[in-house]
Amino acid sequence: MKSKAKKRYSKSHLRSNRQRVGILLMFLTAVVFVIFVCRFSYIAHGKAYSVNLDAKLNQQVTHTKVIPAKRGAILDKSGTVIAESGNTYKVYALLKHQYPDDKRKVVRNKQKTAEILSRYLQMSSDEVLQRLNPQLKTTSQVEFGASGASLSLDTKGRLQAEKLPGIMFSTSSSRLYPNGTFASHVIGMVNVNNDASTSLTKVTGTMGLEKWFNGLLSGRNGQKTEKTDFFGYQLNGTKVKDRPVRNGGTVYTTLDTNLQSYLESMLNNVQDRFAPKELTATVMSAKTGAILATSERPTFDPVSQTGLSKWNSALTQDVYEPGSIMKIVTLASAIDSGTYRPNEYYQSGNIKIGGGTIYDWQRSGWGTIPLSQAFPRSSNVGMVNIEQDMGAATWQKYLHRFGFGTKTGITLPDESSGSIAFNGKLNQVSTAFGQAINVTVVQMLRAMTAVSNNGEMVQPRIVSKTVSGDGKVTNYGTKKLGRVIKKSSAEGVRAEMRQVVNATYGTGRVYKINGVDLGVKTGTAQVAGTHGYLTGSNNYTFSVAGMVPISNPKYVVYITMKQPQRMTEDPEKILNSIFTPLVKRTLALEGAQGVAVTPAEMPSVIGTNTVSAQQQLQKAGYKVTVVGSGNQIVQQQPVVKQQVLPGSRVILLTNGAMTMPSVLGWGKSDVLKLAQITGVSFTLRGDGFASAQSLKQGALISGDGGTITFSEQ
């Protein structure tokens, strides 16, 4: 009985255990199921292990393409391109194959390759040949430094036409400056970098107008965002999101390309011959403040940055003591305040005041002379007397009226304010003849507009208008700054500026131009050193300011030259080698006898037959010069669509060997075109028109174009 009862108990116990295990398993299954449901629900809502799965999936299927905006152009007043976006090219030579399956051709005849490359690069054939024979024999390819970089499309095309084995090219996005060195500190330059976030080239203005208008010129990149599957097909139910690209806007300057190019060539000549530490020249519209041409030395090429020795612009950032040009302001203030007594006599030579002695440039003076001669003779002592009659408080008031010590507001970056040292009597009177006061070129130009514009001062400007990428136009027209002096006061100053040129005792007689109604003021300011003013005949800032016609000025011309290192001629003659030709060219651009000449858009003859291209342009009224012996035109200067005056010279480059044309009778601006289209440097000597050339007509043009001599005819 016990065994049966025991068996029954065991079976019952086993059944009970099984039930418990079953219940436990069901419970665990239910728990796991609940956990699974919760987890599934959690994942269904887009999250797992703190990872947003929706975002992760969205990231995997969402693709965004950045569409780069094209940087806008900078143009001259007629719409001629000064700066634009494009590609440049670097040439390199493949000397040997790097890989067995490399099917590219290598350089075969190194001597011939060197001779042909030297025609297009700023290198001699020997220099090219040296590159083609590297010391390291395992070298597979070589480049040609700065001379082989930043090549234009035209130069690349001409080189490709030579069909030289082993000569290759690489392409890069760049900023193009078709005129080369051309108001470089004013136009500015850019940095070109790769943007890691977008893998695109990023161009940023770092100087001049490129920097000031960087936002407008840059535009805004576009974007295209869409969701696609593994094969690149758009997912159903999704939409493409587009943000349209907005290309950069356009900046229209007030510069005149013809006048600017002419100015650059003249400054090059003076820089080469006399080596001044600094040189500036500006032509400005007397009534509107529009700057038609401006340049400085030292300068640089904005593409290669060759010659870049200083970042500051001499027009707006460098400050200096203006010297006797300041006497224009002193005389204007004295006349306007009613304190000027032209018939009052004073003792010239020197004057003791404020614990110091002030001397005239001619230390012995001119005896006792009337104050009316102080300005034409550029007498410092006379200006001290005029300032003393005016009184320091009145003089200081006029200095502020003329804007000294304040920025002009021109659309260029980092403009300097200048400064006035008005503490103590010696400093006060020194400002009357341009010492103890620091100015910028643009401040002096602003002050001179009050005299040229009958008493109403206007703001100098380098930009006429901008057009944004979406078409918004912003005009930078004439900005009147208010009346500074009376009309009669301005007329009185201009009358004495005429005397500087015409009076027997005037300091500016060298600047007289027959048939031109001209007035000027000359300046000679000592250069300050660490321990006072420097001594020596060349340690000065020499300058001249002119207005033409002086009776009712249309133009203001201002030139400064600091410390010429080779002063082999009088400083007035050096300055006049720029001043007189510049005035003549400025007046000539108005057209004969005051009749305006309308420029026309230069047509394209690239790719056409040489003879037919020449006939087409001659029929249109241009002077045509062909360079080379080829039968097809590969390049032209002026470039296509540039605004060109009737009768201008057009230079055509053919696909044949470059040969020297006759340049006799050419002006420097035309020779500059020849240098630009051939890529060859010429040594220019003298002024006026070409009278001799060392490289004879028909000779092959190589790395050196020789010397071209100019003379007045």
> What is the set of active-site residues?
324
3-state helix vs strand vs coil in the chain, percent to 5: 35, 30, 40
CA distance 71 to 188: 14
Do 132 and 107 meet the contact criterion of CB atoms below 8 Å apart? yes
Do 428 and 419 meet the contact criterion of CB atoms below 8 Å apart? no
Single-letter code of the amino acid located at 345:
Y
CA distances from 31 to 38, 40, 41, 201 (A): 10, 14, 15, 58
CA distance 452 to 494: 8
The CA-to-CA distance between both ends of the chain, in Å, stands at: 152
| Structure letter (DSSP) for residue 632 | B
CA distance 611 to 161: 20
Single-letter code of the amino acid located at 136:
L
Do 350 and 384 meet the contact criterion of CB atoms below 8 Å apart? no
| Phi, psi for residue 349 in degrees, rounded to 5 | 110, -65
Q: How many residues does the chain have?
A: 713
**636, β-bridge pairs:** 652
Own/partner pairs, 191-200, CB within 8 angstroms, 24+ separation: 198/66, 200/66, 200/68
Single-letter code of the amino acid located at 444:
M
CA distances from 570 to 84, 423, 520 (A): 41, 35, 17
Cis peptide before 342 (omega within 30 of 0): no
Write the CB contacts of 596 (distance below 8 Å, at least 6 apart in sequence).
Answer: 590
